[in-house]
Structure 1
Amino acid sequence: MFDDLHLDHILLTPGPTPIHPRAQRALMRGMLGHMDPEVFALNREIQADLRVMYGTRPDDFTAVLAGTGSLGMEAGFANLVEQGDEILVCANGSFGRRMAEMAARYGARVRLVTAPLGEAIRPEDVAAHLDGVQMVAVVHGETSTGVLNPVPQIAELVRGSGALLTVDAVTTAGMEPFHMDEWGVDYAYTGAQKCLSAPPGLAPVAISERAFARYSARRTPTPLWYCDFEGLQDYWTRHTYHHTVPVNLHFAFHAALQAALEEGMEARVRRVQEVGAAILAALAPLGFSHYVRRPQDRLPTVLALRLPQGFDDAGVRLALRQREISVTGGLGPTAGMIWRLGLMGEAARPAPYRALMYALEGILGESRLVARFDEALEGVLA
């Protein structure tokens, strides 16, 4: 039934990522109630581990929301934006644009700082529009284009303005360095199914004291009851009922997060670099090239590759899918132009990409893809 639930399917997308084996085992444990003391103990460990992952202050509030990363995005605007607030949104792709739309729906007067697709937001453009804004929102790793925005430099500018800084860390936190306290980030979120290779359905968030102070000074109640900051504290800190959390997802997330912290950020960064370099070495002779021109603007965890001229994007991806391999193409304006290969969590391993190279040899009638991939890996390791 359902091809044995696709247990052997190879997932090379920019999310979700293959589930970590420890998370898979934890997901199958028996159910406990969401108010059980064992669950509260588990949640405390999750909160402590999230402080390490995000690089927060020791007492900053962390939690996981019962929803995907987009709920993490929305919760920030729902709690920290009021009607008429001036919000500066950095938008150089689909998810920056989503930030702008959400902020506007919560009554913000949105200013946009933009950059062409495939290019990073320029800090000097942010500096030119900071006057009078209550919040700056930026996507750290723009999944739709494979661009890494310069959050540390933007954060340094925002610190002197008095504005809050919200950062979408969906394709960075847990796989790339993230220093919330050092940089001066006030609200950050990601999705469990991205860099941590946990099942979809949870949005880990971190909230600074400054953000809580802004929340406490609201003139009107938070319009999104489900993720009201006070309600989150009721459950996560005071251990009183707010809503039913997906307990088994908590256990799976806890296992995946601990596995990531045990491996260490340096090791995770290194394997992303190694596998990414080997992929490009294998595919470049076919005409694949980096979509993002400047090396410092490339998001390591989502390798955006421009396709060779005349390449049958849809046809090749369909042929790969028939071989149980999923690869993601461009989104919106880049559809048919690029591939976006996920290098987050358990996807950033040589084995699944070696399988991709083997499949492409058969589909394209090319040779030496696997050999070039392995030679590049050996060279990096040497």
Structure 2
Amino acid sequence: MFEPHPEHILLTPGPTPIHPRAQQALIRPMLGHMDPEVFALNSEIQADLRVMYGTEPQAFTALLAGTGSLGMEAGFANLVEAGDEVLVCANGSFGSRMAEMAGRYGARVRLVTAPLGEAIRPQDVAAHLDGVNMVAVVHGETSTGVLNPVPEIAELVRGSGALLTVDAVTTAGMEPFHMAEWGVDYAYTGAQKCLSAPPGLAPIAVSERAFARFSARRTKVPLWYCDLEGLRDYWVDHTYHHTVPVNLHFAFHAALRAALEEGLVERQRRVALLGQAITQTLAPLGFSHYVERPQDRLPTVLALRLPDGFDDAGIRQALRRREISVTGGLGPTAGVIWRLGLMGESAHPAPYRALMVALEDLLGERGLAGRFDEAVHGVLV
């Protein structure tokens, strides 16, 4: 019989280790999805999501019963109609996924691209805004560790009349996100990323402007499960739509509340300083930043180029046998980079010190853990 190891260390770009308060919430007795206590819980979640995303006071927030990819799809299903012009910023796997989804809902997709490891250039977006109904961009491109300049792109989009959809999967909950201030109309993330809740929920936020655009649709939403009208019936009017995963809601509530109690600015500081310590420790071995420009580096997914001759697959397999999971590159970057997750409960020194101890042995590099301790002391104390 399979028995999970209680001390497995996840250093991946998702999922992240479950927050202890979320873990505890998972084992509470079951309640019905129409129970008044669940509706009260959902109202608190909605209010906390408005804080996390930085929305308008009346913005619609909710949890979708699915992962972040459902959050992505729900945005296109509700806010795009056949024939709409949608400008997608694609500089990695998840930007490309946006383009595919938009096309499946009948959009005429225009692409603004950038080479892997580089951020989307706002001037390229500005050159393609004429007649666009929606602009879609990934804030933190998980596949390459790139942070796209969403505030600058949003400023350009505001004057065009287009809606702005933002994938905040590796940013919301770990760094300040200013949805109303920037002018973002639809944002989503995954519970298992920066918030360290269990996978299976996609927290979304919809601006008042986007909801008005949705209400003026000419056609029915083709995705019944995540139709905003049905979701609002459940989340606001408390009428039945579908059975929500109640215990995941309780776990998510606990994890989100813990994040807000710590403070998004403090979490941003924590991840930046830990990333600096990891980079300083591994640099003498030949690891280097994959993303060249510092302002384009995604703090929550540290993308490091591997040293020449490094046995990527072999070392990661050896680490896995020691109950440590590290993620390599995706697609064109396979064998080229490691992507180290610095989100939620993984963004602490202890799990990365365990990685350094293991690498000391596997690479014959004595003193690595000590160098990490010195680096952590230098930036975190």
Please indicate the TM-score interval, normalised by the length of the shorter structure: over 0.9
Equivalent residue, structure 1, for 2:319: 320
Native 8 Å contact 1:278 1:372 kept in 2: no
Find the aligned partners of 2:100 and 2:288 in 1 and give their Cα distance. Answer: 32
What does the per-residue CA deviation read over 1:148-175, in whole Å, with 9 as the maximum and x for residues that have no partner?
0000000000000000000000000000
Classify the secondary structure of the residue corresponding to 2:110: strand
Task: Answer yes or no: is the 8 Å Cα contact 2:9–2:324 preserved in 1.
Answer: yes
CA distance in 1, matches of 2:219, 2:373: 59
Q: Report matched runs for 1:111-126 at 5 Å.
A: 111-126=110-125
Aligned to 1:2: 2
Aligned-pair CA distance for 1:275 = 1.2
Partner of 2:220: 221
Residue number in structure 1 paired with 2:279? 280
Q: Whole-Å Cα distance in 2 between the matches of residues 317 and 381 of structure 1?
A: 27
1:165-184 → structure 2 map (5 Å cutoff) = 165-184=164-183
In 2, the alpha carbon distance for the partners of 1:369 and 1:44 equals 47
- SS of residue matched to 2:244: coil
In 2, distance between residues paired with 1:274 and 1:6?
29
Alpha-carbon deviation of 1:364?
0.7
Give the structure 1 partner of residue 90 of structure 2. Answer: 91
Aligned-residue offset at 1:102: 0.0
**Matches of 2:47 and 2:11 in 1, distance apart?**
30
Aligned-residue offset at 1:270: 1.3
Alignment-mate amino acid for residue 234 of structure 1: D
Partner of 2:203: 204
- Counterpart residue identity of residue 367, structure 1: R
Kindly state the Cα deviation for residue 2 of structure 1 after the two structures are TM-superposed.
2.7
Query: C-alpha distance in 2, partners of 1:108/1:316?
Result: 43
Deviations 1:270-309 (A, max 9, x none): 1101211111111100000000000000000000000000
Cα offsets for 1:43-93 (capped at 9, x unmatched): 000000000000001111000000000000000000000111000000000
Cα distance in 2 for partners of 1:6, 1:64 equals: 30
Counterpart contact for 1:288–1:306, Cα < 8 Å: yes
Partner of 2:45: helix, strand, or coil?
helix
Separation (CA, whole Å) in 2 of partners of 1:335 and 1:243: 40
Partner SS state of residue 377, structure 2: helix
Q: Which amino acid aligns with 2:351?
A: P
Task: Give TM-score scaled by structure 1 length.
Answer: 0.99
CA distance in 2 between partners of 1:87 and 1:58 (Å): 27
Residues of 1 paired with 2:5 and 2:130: CA distance? 52
Q: Which residue of 1 aligns with 2:40?
A: 41
Does 1:296 find its partner at 2:316?
A: no
1:142 aligned residue: 141
Deviations 1:226-275 (A, max 9, x none): 00000000000000000000000000000000000000012111110121
Measure the CA separation in 2 of the matches of 1:53 and 1:2: 38
Q: How many Å apart are 1:381 and its aligned residue?
A: 3.0
Equivalent residue number for residue 77 of structure 2 = 78
The Cα shift of 1:206 comes to 0.2
Deviates more, 1:272-281 or 1:153-162: 272-281
Distance in 2, matches of 1:121 and 1:113, equals 7
**CA-to-partner distance for each residue in 1:303-352, whole Å, 9 max, x for gaps?**
00000000000000000000000000000000000000000000000000
Q: CA RMSD in A?
A: 0.6
1:248 is paired with a residue whose SS is: helix
Q: Which runs of 4+ in 1 moved over 2 A?
A: none
Pair 1:26-2:25 in alignment: yes
Alignment of 1:213-292 (within 5 A): 213-292=212-291
Deviations 1:94-148 (A, max 9, x none): 0000000000000000000000000000000000000000000000000000000
Q: Which whole-Å CA distance do the structure 2 matches of 1:291 and 1:71 have between them?
A: 29
Is the Cα–Cα contact under 8 Å of residues 274 and 380 in structure 2 kept in the other structure? Answer: no
Conserved? CA contact 2:75–2:165, under 8 Å? yes
User: Is this contact kept in 2: 1:169–1:188, CA < 8 A?
Assistant: yes
Count of aligned pairs between the two proteins: 381
Partner AA of 2:367 in structure 1: R
Indicate conservation of the 8 Å contact 2:117/2:292, yes or no: yes
Which letter does structure 2 place at the counterpart of 1:181?
A
Which residue of the partner structure matches residue 157 of structure 2?
Answer: 158
Gaps of 5+ in 2: none
> Identity, % of aligned pairs?
85
**CA–CA separation in structure 2 for the residues paired with 1:381 and 1:283:** 17
Aligned position for 1:185: 184
1:334 aligns with 2:333: yes
Give secondary structure in 2 for the equivalent of 1:116: coil
- Say whether residues 1:344 and 2:365 are aligned partners: no
Give the whole-Å Cα distance in 2 for the aligned partners of 1:287 and 1:365: 14
Distance between the aligned counterparts of 2:148 and 2:329, measured in 1? 19
User: 1: distance between equivalents of 2:5 and 2:24?
Assistant: 17
- Equivalent position of 1:106 in the other structure: 105
What is the SS of the residue equivalent to 2:302?
A: strand
Q: Distance in 2 between matches of 1:286 and 1:160?
A: 48
- Name the SS of the counterpart of 1:2 in structure 2: coil
TM-score (norm 2): 0.99
Q: Specify the alignment match of 2:131 in structure 1.
A: 132
- Answer whether contact 2:191 2:199 (CA < 8 A) is retained: yes
